[in-house]
Chain A
Amino acid sequence: MDLGTLGAGLGAGITVLGAGLGIGRLAAAALEALARQPEVAGDARTTMIIAAALIEGVALFSCVICMLLVVMK
């Protein structure tokens, strides 16, 4: 185990932290919106999934970078 691998692992962990926080806030907001206006459930769900996918995409970028750190050391 060298420092590069350690850095990659830490990086992945921090990324997950950020992404989890982001998606959690997103889900909370979506749920609130749903509770307030149940009639827009379909729209809210679609928008939520798209936004979650975008956040997840950024997180996955960083995870891929971490993976590259391990693989290409």
Chain B
Amino acid sequence: MDKIMDIEPGLMIWTLFSFLIFLAILIKFGTKPLLNGLTARENRIKEAIENADKANEKAQKILKETDDKLSTAQIEMAEIVRKGKVQAEELIKKAADEADKVKKQKVDEAIREIERNKEIAIKQLRTEVASLVVAATEKILDETLDKEKHYKMVESYIEKLPSN
């Protein structure tokens, strides 16, 4: 019991000596790599978090850009579709107009052709009639002698013809 309160100089010197050597070895092989590793890892984690934040920011930016692009593209697409529709309508209208025009032309041409053929026919008919009339007249002139009366009749016929 009395020894508990003793301060032994030998033990004190051994403790000082042991503890200092212990500290030296501990610093060299224990705490130095440990603390270095710890700081390295902490830095790395910090960096990783920063990088992740940055990447996240970038991704957000890209996402926003893409969204913007997408919406613009949609608007553009709608525009194109609208334009296409308008164009198509125009085209259809144009085609229809053209077709109308062509039709009209054709009809006109046909009418003109008919007119012309009619005229030709009339001319032929008239010549025919005239020659017939002449022939008939010659016959009549041969057989009947009422010259004046017949002439008048022919004349009136001829008068009547062109009006048709």
Binding site for B on A (CB under 8 A): 64, 67-68, 70-72
Contacts and interface: CB of A to CB of B under 8 A. Distances in A.
What is the interface of chain A mostly: helix, strand, loop, or mixed? helix
Contacts of A72: 2, 5
Contacts of A64: 5
Contacts, number: 11
9 contacts: A64-B5, A67-B4, A67-B5, A68-B5, A70-B1, A71-B1, A71-B2, A71-B5, A72-B5
The 7 closest A-B CB pairs, nearest first, are: A71-B2, A71-B5, A68-B5, A71-B1, A67-B5, A71-B4, A67-B4
A70 to B, nearest CB: 8
Contacts of A68: 5
A64 B4 CA distance: 11
A25 to B, nearest CB: 31
A15 B2 CA distance: 22
Contacts of B5: 64, 67-68, 71-72
B3 to A, nearest CB: 9
Contacts of A70: 1
Interface in B11-34: none
Contacts of B2: 71-72
Nearest to A64: B5
Which of A70, A71, A72 has the most B CB atoms < 10 Å from its CB?
A: A71
B84 to A, nearest CB: 67
A68 B1 CA distance: 10
